[in-house]
Amino acid sequence: MASQKMIVMDVIKKADVLLEVVDARFPDDTRNSEIERELGRLNKPFIIVLNKCDLVSKESLEKAKNRLSKIAPAIFVSSKEKFGTTMLRYKILEVADIQDRNITVGCIGYPNTGKSSVINSVVGRGKAPTSSISGYTKGVQIINAGSRIVFLDSPGVFPFDEHDEYIQGLLGIKDSTHLKDPIGVALKIIERLIEGNKEQLESFYNVSIRDENSYDILEMIGMQSNYLKKKGEIDETRAAVKIINDWQKGYLLAEEL
Ligand SMILES: Nc1nc2c(ncn2[C@@H]2O[C@H](COP(=O)(O)OP(=O)(O)OP(=O)(O)O)[C@@H](O)[C@H]2O)c(=O)[nH]1
Ligand SMILES: [Mg+2]
């Protein structure tokens, strides 16, 4: 089977316009500079879609949008709440500027950013299969959205030098069972939450945090959840897995909305 990367390159070649779907919580971490360079080389117009905007505040969205608009038209969308999808449809028609035939729209981006979900929200029906498990879309899928728009869904890819386990955990590229160091990843998530939304971390896990470090907080959460090993020690791995799962499911927000 052709590599995921070759599949994506083929989608880019075939498409009239591309949607680079990024995770609105980490727009910079989920932009693929390698792909953007390729788009520039082939002179392909693209739109940056900040998906999962239901998980970030309006202020940070506006900031990200202003910044990214200098690179390409940027639109924020929540596929989950069907927000921004009509706007996206208009933007596709505007950017493609093709009047006399169907417009082929390639959907590309990091794994798990919601590429298939964005397509479904524009189509209005669940035509592109989605999953919380990253790497779900394997080959190319063609989805007719009506009104002259035909989508090509593609598997998620990230640049080869960004295989960082923390990023993969934070972005949900790898689920907790595939991470080599779930505790390390959970500590990063805790640090992010202390910085951006400490109250929520406290209320979600029913702990009260003063100036403890992330490791102490992991233990507090393990204790509070009654995750104990046989000898009564706290099962930190189990606590870490719980935190990663809660984060990846979107139960924990990195900042107040
Ligand atoms: N909160 C929230 N979750 C979303 C949104 N869009 C997608 N998701 C969730 O993100 C996960 C991944 O969605 P997919 O559409 O399968 O993502 P993908 O980019 O196609 O993933 P791959 O095909 O594996 O690369 C699923 O659990 C979706 O429910 C959104 O707008 N908001
Ligand atoms: Mg997919």
**Phi, psi (deg, nearest 5) at residue 14:** -80, -25
Over residues 3-17, mean pLDDT: 86
The larger pLDDT score, comparing residue 138 to residue 124, is at 124
Over residues 106-130, mean pLDDT: 89
Quick: pLDDT tens for 192-228.
Answer: 899 889 999 999 999 999 988 888 899 999 999 999 9
The larger pLDDT score, comparing residue 253 to residue 130, is at 253
- pLDDT > 70? residue 3: no
> Mind listing the domains of the chain with CATH numbers?
4-162 (3.40.50.300), 165-248 (1.10.1580)
CA distances to 52, 135, 187, 192 from 195, rounded to whole Å, are 20, 30, 12, 5
What is the per-residue pLDDT for 1? Answer: 41
The larger pLDDT score, comparing residue 129 to residue 197, is at 197
Atom 26 of ligand 1, nearest CA residue: 132
Task: Quote the tokens at residue 131.
Answer: 């999953």
The larger pLDDT score, comparing residue 126 to residue 52, is at 52
**Backbone torsion region of residue 225, taken as left when φ is above 0, otherwise alpha when ψ lies between -120 and 50, otherwise beta:** alpha
User: For residue 134, which atom of ligand 1 is closest to its CA?
Assistant: 24
Residue 84: DSSP 8-state? S
User: For residue 135, which atom of ligand 1 is closest to its CA?
Assistant: 24
Q: What residues line ligand 1, using a CB cutoff of 6 Å?
A: 51-52, 54-55, 78-80, 111-117, 130-132, 134-137, 155-156, 250
CB within 8 A of 72, min separation 6: which ones?
Answer: 20, 45, 46, 47, 48
- pLDDT > 50? residue 28: yes
pLDDT band at 162; cut points 50, 70, 90: very low
